[in-house]
Structure 1
Amino acid sequence: MEQQATAPRPLPPVDVEQAEAALIEHYPRLVRLGYLVLPPALGRNRRVLTAHALVQRALPRNRVTTTELTGLAVPAPRGGAGSPADPGYAYVRQRVLRAALEAGRPRGRWQLPKPGQLPPLLPQVWGLRLFPRSGGADELALDQALAALSGPGRAAYVLRVLELPSDSDVRQVLKAAGVEDPAAAVVEASGLRTPAGSRDASLLESMEFDPCSLQARPTDLMRRRQHARAALAAAAAAAVCGTLLVLPGSGWGPDGAAAPPYAQNAAAQQALDPAKLTRASTGTWKRADRSGFAVWPARGDRTDDQELLRRALAVWARPGSSVRVTSTPGTATGPAAGPPQLLYAGEVGQATVVVFHDGLRLVRYAEAKNGDTGGAALDFARADAADGDSATAVVVGRADGNVRYLTAPWVSEVAVRDLLKPGESAQPLRTAADGVTDPTISPAPTNDCRSWPALQMGGRLVTDLGELTPARLTVGAPDGQHDVTGPAARADWAHTACHLQTMRSQGVRSVNSWTFATQPLPGGAAGSAEWLCTRAETWRGAGSRVLALFQPPGARPGAASPPVARAEDSPACGAHDPHALAGVLWKSPAGNWYALAAGSDDVESIAATGAVQATASGRLLAVPAKPGARSALTARLTDGKKLTAIH
């Protein structure tokens, strides 16, 4: 039942000193508020830095008038004297709330970004990723539930739990922060289901949501080194080009969106000549010892259009300033070393598309269907060592949330399957004679995971992660990965699919889901929980991502398993380290807390140290624990080696 709202009373003017005193006194509280309201799509590192920046920019430039404070109530504190209730705090809180909400609003095409939508100038940390400490399964489940809310709904939930005593006060503060429909935001927040047995306020007050108590990890060291080298090379190239641009040249001519020529040598000239493009014959893939992009024939109705091919090669070699260039991590965007292979040239939707392969990379050139090169695009992706399993398709077109694929010549049938509905049959997808599919829905690039389309190509299952090549999905132990076939494998992926959102645009080649343990639950609970390890391998080798998931019994098909551990550039659950160990705090239906841990088949014993101290023979551990208890896990393998938990 809603508490009686406190009538807002007129607030006196607030000066800079009063606002600064409130900000300093309640800085952790304000940063937590900003962190929770900011869009989860920013990622935890960016949200942490942006929340600190928003709070630090919340001070007024001068004295705040009474008019500026209109609508800012100072209600009776939630929980007594422990909550701030003064005009200075109300003003700063409103500034932080407004900026955090603005960061999540869509921006018009010609509209300047708001402060919260820009990377923060200060504070800034170079070479490190900062993120709050991970909590238990309840905190992770609540974090996922908050991510599914809109910005106003998330703000309403956080204000209700942490700040204000009544829904009327929440609506009043949301309205003052610029929310168009505060009542709808409160209703949306009311519909959020907190994890079973959670303690609401103490969950939001846990370390999982504390951006002032942080863990630090290095960024991608290899990528930093590559970027530093690329920056030096770019600076040198810019200096050379700046000099050459003042020299007479042959102009733009038929090269379309290509920049003016900057070099003349035999290899570069051959790479620009459409007549020297290599082409695999139609039946090469049937006779080849090894399948891959190198045996794809040239397809499409424009493979003989010399002017189109010349424009595409020239733009690849010298992309002009109007060309949109994208690349997957670790992919060079320079010109070809020699004549590349032509895979496709034709019209796809409202665009004309050319796809090349130079042995290491796939390159897609796209221009308007009418030949206008003003909005040309150039996309690069690693494709070295591709085989029959990973060279199944290439994305040739994206429009309005749909995607079209050019399929491998050995793919005879294509169907679309929703990973979140493992019991439903795959729907056939028409493929033209040149190998291009009809448009099909691509997974939405948001945290609203209501479906996850994937392509079934024979026995192989692949999905679009926002790149030129779809990622192959597999199941099984690292030394026995196989295609996703059968109800059990599809059921595992139904609980894992939504976590693919964190792997978009990372150059992912394949993702494997491995159920490494099944654990009977203690405390009289019925059923057993499953432990899964999901590992994403990239084309460049480095940059792998590992998630440990805990799936309690009784979850509906398609419900995402709560992640209990994350790791980057880790060999865990892979060919070089085919082991897994993870733990979680779990609350039984009777209200008792337990520390659970599980390891893969070759784990001989598990030990927990810290707040929970226990040992167990075998690969399962379950002991009583206190809420919020933190411990470190180690295991001993059957060969005597030590194994640490995924982290």
Structure 2
Amino acid sequence: MHPQDVAQPSAPSSPAGPVVDVEQAEAALVEHYPRLVRLAYLVLPSGPGRGRRVLTAHSLVQRALPRGRVPAPVIPAQQAGRDVEAGYALVRLRVVRTALEAGRPLWRAAWPKRSQLPPLLPQVWGLTLFPRPGGADELALDQRLSTLSGPARAAYALRGLERLPDGDVRAVLTAAGVTDPDAALAEADRIPVAHRLLDSPEFDACSLRARPTDLLGRRRRVRAALVAGAALAVCGTLLGLPGDGWGGDGPAAPPYARNPAAQAALDPGRLTRVSPTAWKTAARTDFSVWPARGDGTGDRELLRRALAVWARPGGDVQVSATPGTPTGGPPGPPHLLYAGTVDTARVVILYDGLRIARYAEPKDGTRGAALDFARVDGAGRDAAGAVVLSRADGNVRYLTAPWVRGAAERDLREPGSGAMDLTLTGGVTSPLASPVLRPEPCTSWNVLQLTDGTGTALLTDLGELVPARLTAGRPGAARPASGAEALRTWAPFACSLGAVRSAGVRSVNAWAFAEQPLPGAPDGRAGSGAWVCTRAETWRGAGARVLAQFHTPGGRFGAVAATAQDVPACGPREPRVLAGVLWKSEAGSWYLLAAGSDDVASVRATGGVEGSGRGRLLTVRAEKGARAYLEGTVDNGRPISGLR
């Protein structure tokens, strides 16, 4: 914080001008409370820890109401409605002003302002509250913002969150007491423009996660306080202290148990390591035969911090896990896969037989550490080909299996464009563009292509530690989606992979189950539409997501006709499907098109569209917006319902 950048608030405007009463300000505060708290959270310094920062942001916004009628600021609020606009502008100004004051250092020669003291309300006992973690881009932005002065952070937030032009930002900063708003704007220009990230859950101080504080340690402190006869004084002191917990174990919480097995799991000297050639003679090839790689495999302090944070993540550690993945400590000494410096972080990747755990901390300290988990039980050679090592600036690096001989980048949207080779250095790929970090609209979908001497596999980043395998073909006989026909099948449907990101997906199969002639062309030559069913299988078994999609000639993208969750359709247990879609012909007529897999013997439509036919295809005239229900029978007489 730069105290010289903040002066006393400027004098109020003339009372003869417009005024805002308490009711108007309260209405604006209640309506826009989450946005104001997010703004305060962004302006506040990150030094005291995220838990303290969250409570301070709420406290500042709740104290932003004026005591009576006050002059309305002459700064636009970017809100609809004149009364609410003036009230919102006033409350926002008071939030920015007190947030800047809260970040100023305390001086012995001056009494602290109310905003510089720990908030009286709200208070939470026994829990640490912090926003839900975002991605690598949000973490990097938060770290960059922490290097700015308070006025510069305010300028960046007003630009990005409030969408104010620079002239209005200057007006807000001046009214908030900043002596040199132009310098604050120039300092904010040092941060790359990533305003869309300000709407991320990383900066949402109203949508919070909760973790307990050190339970056994808290009990011991209370007992000691009771014995000493000073329980209230001791508890008050402990609650007033910042709970950073940074010690020899880095960002780990204080130890709460001395179980010998648990302590053995935290000893860097007991980490499991295998030789670089162990996979060649092993009975199975999975993560258990990966050797330890990276320039930090001998860094005991880094490894100890990673193990300690895994066992006891502190309140400032960002913890994420794929659905269905436990986040508890390792049951014993885990397997070391990687330790070293990647881009701007130190990274440790560990494996305990069930999970992959990735610990990452900035190169210049431990503040802002992250711990990510992914479930990988039952992974064989095909599923243990790569792990995400880092994400930065929209790119991703992978650590590949020791049996991988080559890596390349391929655009799944362009099957004929070929693959671009990636360098492999110690099993680490050069960076490639991550499709899940790209802004909309979806114009490309870059995937990782790996070769190992026995075949070629395609993997895609879905925002998790382990990329998902892409396959194509009939369920039960699917093959890696690396052949020319499989690539053509996937091309129109690549962007639909975004629907299953961050869902713990293990593999996604695309099955072209039918082609259907298109009706209604004036010349009778409308071509055929392609029906494809994509099924995303998860590591936990449950939660599989099925999409039936329809693609017409000349179209760049397939259209989702039906979706389903936790159904066996399109999978090895139920290798059949029936789906339909309303389609408009070139002549402007609407039709219900329905198709089933090759063992469907008849199809019938009821509801808003009536029709039936033998075979697996059905074409019926329909009205725009009609809703139909599909039923059919398969060759053995069993009924089948349409996917919905």
Instruction: Please indicate the TM-score interval, normalised by the length of the shorter structure.
Output: 0.5 to 0.7
Letter in 2 for 1:429: L
Deviations 1:444-481 (A, max 9, x none): 35432011110110210001111101111110111111
Q: 1:239 to 1:525 in 2, by over 3 A?
A: farther
Partners of 1:598 and 1:538 in 2: how far apart?
A: 27
1:289 to 269, 283, 288: 283
Say whether the 8 Å CA contact 2:214–2:253 is kept in structure 1. Answer: no
Superposed CA deviations along residues 282-306 of structure 1, whole A, max 9, x for unmatched, are 2111112221101111111211222
**CA shift for structure 1 position 492:** 1.6
CA–CA distance in structure 2, aligned partners of residues 613 and 302 of structure 1: 67
**SS, match of residue 480 in structure 1:** coil
**Alignment map for 1:441-520 (pairs within 5 Å):** 441-443=433-435, 444-458=437-451, 459-520=456-517
Q: 1:402 aligns with which of 395, 417, 423?
A: 395
The match for 2:33 is none
User: Are 2:462 and 2:500, in contact at CA under 8 Å, matched by a contact in 1?
Assistant: yes
Q: CA offsets per residue over residues 225-274 of structure 1, 9 Å max, x none? A: xxxxx99xx67x8655542565899x854211111110110110110111
1:415 and 2:446 aligned? no
Aligned match for 2:563, one of 553, 561, 566: 566
Indicate which of 418, 426, 429 corresponds to 1:437.
429
- Tell me, in whole angstroms, the C-alpha distance in 2 between the residues paired with 1:366 and 1:535: 32
* SS class of match (1:309): helix
Map of 1:529-568 to 2, 5 A cutoff?
Answer: 529-555=529-555, 559-568=556-565
Shift of the 278–245 alpha-carbon distance from structure 1 to 2, 3 Å rule, reads farther
- The change in CA–CA distance for 1:606 and 1:308 in structure 2 (over 3 A counts) is same
The structure-2 alpha-carbon separation of the partners of 1:352 and 1:91, relative to structure 1 and needing over 3 Å to count, comes to: closer
Question: Do 1:342 and 1:357's aligned partners in 2 also have CA atoms closer than 8 Å?
Answer: yes
Runs of 4+ with >6 A deviation: 90-96, 177-180
Given residue 342 of structure 2, which amino acid in structure 1 is its aligned partner?
V
Q: After superposition, what is the alpha-carbon deviation per residue over 1:123-164, rounded to whole angstroms, capped at 9, x for unaligned?
A: xxxxxxxxxxxxxxxxxxxxxxxxxxxxxxxxxxxxxxxxxx
Greater relative CO (CA pairs within 8 A, separation 6+): 1
Could you say what secondary structure the match of 2:252 adopts?
coil
Q: Deviations over 1:344-400 (max 9, x none)?
A: 111111211111000000001111223x11121111110111111111101111111
RMSD, matched Cα: 3.0
Q: How high is the sequence identity, in percent, across the aligned residues? A: 55
Q: Pick one of 309, 314, 317 that aligns with 2:308.
A: 314
Shift of the 94–398 alpha-carbon distance from structure 1 to 2, 3 Å rule, reads: farther
412-421 or 304-313, which moves further after superposition? 304-313
Superimposed CA distance per residue, residues 389-437 of structure 1 (whole angstroms, 9 cap, x where no aligned partner): 11110111111111111000011000000111111110000010x2111
Letter in 1 for 2:275: S
Structure 2 residue aligned with 1:122: none
Q: Any conservation in 2 of the 1:447–1:501 contact (CA below 8 Å)?
A: no
TM-score, scaled relative to structure 2:
0.63
Alignment of 1:100-119 (within 5 A): none
Structure 1's 95 and 534: CA in aligned 2 closer, same or farther, altered over 3 A?
A: farther
Look up the equivalent residue of 1:466 and give its one-letter code. Answer: G
CA distance in 2, matches of 1:293, 1:486: 26
Distance 1:246 1:468, change over 3 A: farther
Residues 303 and 626 (structure 1), Cα distance of their counterparts in 2 relative to 1, 3 Å cut: same
* Per-residue Cα deviation, 1:158-199 (whole angstroms, up to 9, x for no partner): xxxxxxxxxxxxxxxxxxx9898xxxxxxxxxxxxxxxxxxx
Q: Which amino acid aligns with 1:354?
A: V
Q: Does 1:259 align with 2:253?
A: yes
Q: 1:92 to 1:500 in 2, by over 3 A?
A: farther
1:526 alignment counterpart: 526
Equivalenced residue count is: 427
Q: Distance in 1 between matches of 2:214 and 2:378?
A: 33
CA distance in 1, matches of 2:335, 2:327: 16
Distance 1:448 1:631 in 2: 31
Moved more, 251-260 or 560-569: 251-260
Larger gyration radius, structure 1 or structure 2: 2
1:272 pairs with 2:248: no
Say whether 1:589 aligns with 2:565. Answer: no
Q: Distance in 1 between matches of 2:217 and 2:393?
A: 37
Change (3 A) 1:602 1:428: same
Partner of residue 609 from structure 2, selected from 600, 608, 612: 612
* Aligned partner (choices 286, 297, 301) of residue 295 of structure 2: 301
Residue 13 (structure 1) aligns with = none
TM-score (normalised: structure 1): 0.62
Go from structure 1 to structure 2 and tell me whether the alpha carbon gap of 1:343 and 1:561 turns closer, same or farther (over 3 Å shift): same
The answer as to whether partners of 2:544 and 2:566 remain within 8 angstroms in 1 is yes
Q: Distance in 2 between matches of 1:438 and 1:408?
A: 15
Aligned AA for 2:539? W
Partner of 2:338: 344
Relative to structure 1, is the Cα distance of residues 574 and 94 closer, same or farther in structure 2, using a 3 angstrom cutoff?
farther
Query: Is the contact between residue 214 and residue 256 of structure 2 (CA under 8 Å) also seen in structure 1?
Result: no
Q: Distance in 1 between matches of 2:595 and 2:217?
A: 58
Match of 1:207 in 2: none
1:334: which partner in 2? Answer: 328
**C-alpha separation in 2, matches of 1:639 and 1:582:** 19
Matching residue within 638, 642, 646 for 2:643: 646
Quick check: 1:446–1:501 contact (8 Å CA) kept in 2? no
**Conservation of the 8 A alpha-carbon contact between 1:354 and 1:365:** yes
Q: Deviations over 1:597-629 (max 9, x none)?
A: 000011111111112111111100011112222
Matches within 5 A, 1:235-250: 239-240=215-216, 242-244=218-220
Residue 355 of structure 2 corresponds to residue 379 of structure 1: no
1:342 CA displacement = 0.5
Q: Amino acid of the residue matched to residue 286 of structure 1?
A: K
- Supply the distance in 1 between the matched residues of 2:542 and 2:516 (Cα, whole angstroms): 32
Rate the CA distance shift 1:416–1:247 in 2: closer, same or farther, 3 A.
Answer: farther
User: Aligned letter for 1:358?
Assistant: D
Structure 1, unmatched stretches of 5+, are 1-67, 73-89, 100-109, 112-176, 181-229
Q: Evaluate the alpha carbon distance shift between residue 315 and residue 477 of structure 1 in structure 2; reply closer, same or farther with a 3 A threshold.
A: same
Preserved contact between residue 296 and residue 339 of structure 2 (Cα < 8 Å)? yes
Instruction: Report if the CA contact (8 A) 1:252-1:258 is conserved.
Output: yes
State the alpha-carbon separation in 1 of the partners of residues 579 and 82 from structure 2.
39
Alpha-carbon separation, structure 2, partners of 1:448 and 1:600? 32
- The aligned counterpart of 1:424 is 417
**1:488 Cα offset (Å):** 2.2
Superposed displacement of residue 485, structure 1: 2.7
Q: Which runs of 5+ in 2 are unaligned?
A: 1-73, 89-98, 101-161, 166-208, 225-237, 239-244
Kindly provide the CA deviation profile for residues 20-64 of structure 1, in whole angstroms up to 9, marking residues without a partner as x: xxxxxxxxxxxxxxxxxxxxxxxxxxxxxxxxxxxxxxxxxxxxx
CA deviation profile, 1:549-603 (whole Å, cap 9, x unmatched) = 0111122xxx220111111222211112211110011111112221110000111
- Aligned equivalents of 1:345 and 1:254: distance in 2? 18
Offset of residue 484 of structure 1: 1.3
Between the aligned partners of 2:428 and 2:538, the Cα distance in structure 1 is: 25
